[in-house]
A and B are shown apart, each in its own frame.
Chain A
Amino acid sequence: MTRHSEAPPGAAQKIPAAPAGRVVIVGAGEWAAVVFEHLRHDSPYEPVAFCAAEEQLSADGYRGLPLVPLADLARTYPPDRYLAFVAVAPSQLSQAGRRLYATVKGAGYTCASYISSRAFALRTARIGENTFVHQRVALQHGVRVGDNVVIGSGTCIGHSAVVADDCFVGPRVATAGFCRIGRGCLVGANSCVDAAVSVADGCVLRPGTVVLKDTRPHLVYTGNPARPEAQV
């Protein structure tokens, strides 16, 4: 878990002071391009290359940077000198992305995390590795966000809430205090989760879903109040 700021009580809050480093973005699709733009213009990290599995390589470069095969990554950009950011489509977070993240971690990489300079995070909030927090997000007091999580623009994660690993939380989502979003959930845009409610592992919340009671794992929920649609 990354601590956002080591500032003592009373000091002004600073932009999360992650150590600057050179980053290889693992992925070469639209989401990798989004990550590239944010890291390049709004982070202490310098993206230096993209990386993709052999069968997905259609060119030598992407966005003006070298594009290397995954099999060559550790040789060309060794993990003791480079960070990684695994950037695959949020819809694949629970499957391909998780496997790719495990592969990259297994190769010894530390993964970077990104918090927009226009997000709001209290110093007591913590985020894991390979996590991406968009602009105008609020991470309130005591929030815990796991590894490999995306949090969309304008979303509020309420005080003492937990977002577990491998989640994609869309834009303008509101979670009240003490919520829990389980592992590998997809939370659609403008959904909301009432105070102290748990969304179980592997759930999908369609956009605009209003969750007032704990959900059961691996179900798709929709509506106000939320009702399960079908087995995932």
Chain B
Amino acid sequence: MGVGQLTEVRHPLQALSAGERVVIVGTGETAAVAFEYFCHDTPHEVVAFSAEAPFIEADSYCGLPVVPLDELADAYPAAATRVFVAVALVQLNRVRRRLYRAVKAAGFDCVSYVSSHAVVTPNVKIGENSFVQEHAALQYGARVGDNVFVGSGTCLGYRSVVEDDCYAGPHVTVGDFCRVGRASFLGANSCVADGRLVAEDCIIGAGAVILKDTAARQVYLGNPARPLGRDSFETFGVTGG
């Protein structure tokens, strides 16, 4: 496992296990990031990358083969392989969601990653294909859905819920008893006050401080955060909802 002090309380996802053979879906920066974490801080073995055929630019990535997504189940049978979909917040998390659903439909189970340098209370629930980086703190009773990214140093307070397909950057603070709705984006160092609701499909800009519940599909900035009156789908180029 990684450097430094191992925390005393371990989450099941931080436990040592025999490891899986993992294919990373994606061939961009986020895929390279995931590759580094899997190689150095998990017992998993990354065996290949995969992408949709039109987006494949080379036969290999990070020294491993790149397999077209529609050939993945033939090349790496779902019974013996796990998948991690490594795409950032493109189109307000729509691309990651679409690829996640595609690999699930192809019969794959997805792995989640929790850094050995995160502090995660064992009763925290974390779904599939979620990624929790170093120095994150997921406190008692917090819940993280499927396909969620939790950045470095981000804190999720007691009993807070982050729903599917969300993306939280580094040093985000989600207070106690909060809810972050599906596919929302929380920028670096943003903060959600205790008990507040971030509705679905919101963009919370870097450093924004949410003191009141937000409305869906809105973009918020500032301290205290104010809506810019911009539609988040337009801002992030979401097509097709």
Contacts and interface: CB of A to CB of B under 8 A. Distances in A.
Interface of A: 7, 9-15, 117-124, 136, 138, 140-142, 154, 156, 158-160, 172, 174-178, 190, 192-195, 210-212, 224-225
A169 B135 CA distance: 18
A7 B41 CA distance: 13
A120 B4 contact: yes
B222 interface: yes
Interface in B87-123: 117
Nearest to A9: B39
B239 interface: no
Nearest to B169: A176
Given A12-B2, A122-B36, A176-B206, A210 B135 contact: no
B171 A174 contact: yes
Interface in B124-162: 133-135, 151-153
B227 interface: no
A118 B32 contact: no
B1 A12 contact: yes
Contacts of B32: 141-142
B58 to A, nearest CB: 18
26 contacts: A12-B2, A13-B2, A14-B3, A117-B3, A118-B5, A120-B4, A122-B40, A136-B135, A138-B153, A138-B170, A156-B152, A158-B170, A158-B188, A174-B189, A174-B206, A175-B170, A176-B188, A176-B206, A192-B188, A192-B189, A192-B206, A192-B207, A194-B188, A195-B188, A210-B206, A225-B221
Contacts of B222: 224-225
A222 to B, nearest CB: 12
B33 A156 contact: no
B187 interface: yes
